[in-house]
Amino acid sequence: MRLLYTDKHPMFEARNIGCYDNVALRADTAGGCTHIDISFRSSPRRPYFCTMELLKNVSIAEFTSFKIGGKADYFCRARSVDELKEALAFARRHSLPIFILGGGTNMLLSDDGFRGVVVKIELHGVKWGEASVVAAGENWDSFVAETVARGLWGLENLSGIPGTVGAAPVQNIGAYGVEIAEVLEWVEALDMRTGEIKQLSNADCAFAYRDSIFKKQEGKNFIITRVAFRLQKDGAPNLQYKDLAEYFSSGGAPTLQQIRRAVLEIRARKFPDLKTHGTAGSFFKNPIISKEKFEELKKRFPGLSGFPVPSGVKVPLAWILDKICGLKGFEQDNTALWKDQPLVLVNKGGASASAVSALADNIAHIVKEKTGIEIEREVNFLC
Ligand code: EPU
């Protein structure tokens, strides 16, 4: 038996001493007697105490791809919506902030850790039907691999992206000419204010480049529990992105499997291996600048490309960092801009969050000085 969590009962001290699937054990000591209670989570009269496993002073670095950061005061895994609600209730009871952790692949945790409750979403399951409905805790790339194996088109260009399904809509993940917003049908989320489960349509999610309602104040109260995708049995390859077009330049329409393999190969050439380097992928967003600003920069730097978007022109920061700033491979305090893709910052081993942050500030300063562009971080900073 494991001691999981001690909380104060109004009359005496109650300790949760075990939590095994649907069964919770609790020991109460009162008047010199110890009572062991066994309760079932499906029971209509639910116990007042937590059945989730709540741990104290947990190092969070190992749950992040950067492998950086201090300890969280509390940590738990939510394997069901009930457990998620229990975690929220605990945080509310103790007036603690809560942080929802997916795969930890797009975050930088402060060296001082987090003075609140980190809840790791471990909701699992996939339902295949007209829409493919996936629980938030599923691994993104395993899900994509399964869609490809089933002959479903739509997510193949998003192969190889680390992280969980639940985190994907938050930043509207995108790669090789596709954004999740293009195939997402709805998102199911727990509203922290009311405890209700809500369904948000694609339009409700207000998707934009690396942006959604979940990054804004009005969406901060939602915890994503499931995501539904509309995938096609008879789709067609999307090879508009330069790297993919070049890969398949010899002609012929590639199969789903071939596209997935190509994307994984291209990514492997550009991105560091997470097994050897801590990283959170692209650290900054590609900046969107005005048409006038683009024309001005294009005169000074003729090689600069631009992609028209509704709000202006999106320019490749990797190119700017490489060709204008000469920062590719630059190192500082165990951190670096990756040698094959400078938009990706890496922990070369033992780097601190403050060192990564200092490097990021330094980069932003140099880019501003050389181009006048203010760049924005894409990675979430948790402190
Ligand atoms: N480039 C250079 N030097 C380099 C690397 C790239 O000049 O060392 C140039 C390339 O020539 C290319 C341009 O920069 O034309 C853009 O590079 P790339 O195609 O690698 O894409 P990116 O814009 O840097 C974005 C996403 C990535 C995604 C790729 C592929 C953002 C912030 N990043 O990167 O997403 O995988 O496109 O589609 O939009 C992530 O978000 O973590 C991420 C990795």
Within a domain: 72:
no
Q: What is the mean pLDDT of residues 111-132?
A: 98
Catalytic: which of 156, 182, 188, 378? 378
Q: In which band, very low, low, confident or very high, does the pLDDT at 232 lie, cut at 50, 70 and 90?
A: very high
Q: Which of the residue ranges 9-23, 76-90, 244-258 would you say has the lowest mean pLDDT?
A: 9-23
Supply the pLDDT for residue 6. Answer: 39
Whole-angstrom distance, CA of residue 238 vs CA of residue 225: 29
Report whether pLDDT(29) > 70: no
Any atom of ligand 1 within 6 Å of the Cβ of 377: no
Supply the pLDDT for residue 52. Answer: 81
242 and 290 share a domain?
A: no
In 3D space, the residue among 27, 45, 69 whose CA is nearest the CA of residue 356 turns out to be 69
Supply the pLDDT for residue 23. Answer: 47
278 and 378 share a domain?
A: yes
138 and 229 share a domain?
A: yes
293 and 214 share a domain?
A: no
Any atom of ligand 1 within 6 Å of the Cβ of 279: no
Catalytic: which of 210, 212, 260, 357? 210
- In the chain, pLDDT over 90 holds for what percent of residues? 85
Report whether pLDDT(33) > 90: no
Q: Is 210 a catalytic residue?
A: yes
192 and 290 share a domain?
A: no
Any atom of ligand 1 within 6 Å of the Cβ of 270: yes
Distance 81 CA to ligand 1 centre (A): 36
What is the position in ligand 1's atom list of the atom closest to the CA of 270? 20
156 and 197 share a domain?
A: yes
Report whether pLDDT(9) > 50: no
Q: Is 378 a catalytic residue?
A: yes
Beta bridge partners of 345: 337
pLDDT digits (tens, 9 = 90+) for 172-215: 999 999 999 999 999 999 999 999 999 999 999 999 999 999 99
pLDDT digits (tens, 9 = 90+) for 295-343: 999 999 999 999 999 999 999 999 999 999 999 999 999 999 999 999 9
Question: At which residue do the structure tokens 């590609």 appear?
Answer: 286
DSSP structure string for 313-347: EE--HHHIIIIIT--TT-EETTEEE-TT-TTEEEE
Report whether pLDDT(81) > 80: yes
235 and 340 share a domain?
A: no
pLDDT digits (tens, 9 = 90+) for 57-70: 999 999 999 999 99
Any atom of ligand 1 within 6 Å of the Cβ of 342: yes
Supply the pLDDT for residue 38. Answer: 47
Whole-angstrom distance, CA of residue 20 vs CA of residue 304: 58
DSSP, collapsed to helix, strand or coil, labels residue 299 as helix
Within a domain: 229:
yes
289 and 368 share a domain?
A: yes
Q: In which band, very low, low, confident or very high, does the pLDDT at 1 lie, cut at 50, 70 and 90?
A: very low
pTM score above 0.75: yes
More confident residue, 17 or 283: 283
Last residue of a domain, one of 205, 229, 247: 247
Report whether pLDDT(268) > 50: yes
Whole-angstrom distance, CA of residue 113 vs CA of residue 115: 7
How many domains, in total, are found in the chain?
A: 3
Within a domain: 83:
no
How wide is the angle at C-alpha 235 spanned by C-alphas 234 and 237, nearest 5°? 140
pLDDT digits (tens, 9 = 90+) for 331-371: 999 999 999 999 999 999 999 999 999 999 999 999 999 99
Phi and psi of 290, rounded to 5°? -70, 160
CA 235 to the chain's CA centroid: 27
Cβ-based burial of 194 (10 A; exposed 0-12, middle 13-18, buried ≥19):
exposed
Q: Give the structural domain span for 196.
A: 126-247
Within a domain: 38:
yes
Q: In which band, very low, low, confident or very high, does the pLDDT at 15 lie, cut at 50, 70 and 90?
A: very low
Report whether pLDDT(374) > 50: yes
DSSP state of 171: T
Within a domain: 101:
no
Whole-angstrom distance, CA of residue 249 vs CA of residue 112: 50
Q: What is the CATH number of the domain that holds 368?
A: 3.90.78.10
Distance 188 CA to ligand 1 centre (A): 30
Whole-angstrom distance, CA of residue 308 vs CA of residue 339: 28
Report whether pLDDT(3) > 90: no
Q: Are 44 and 59 in contact (CB under 8 A)?
A: no
Within a domain: 303:
yes
Q: Please list the alpha-helical segments (H only) found in the chain.
A: 81-93, 140-149, 242-247, 256-270, 291-300, 317-319, 353-371
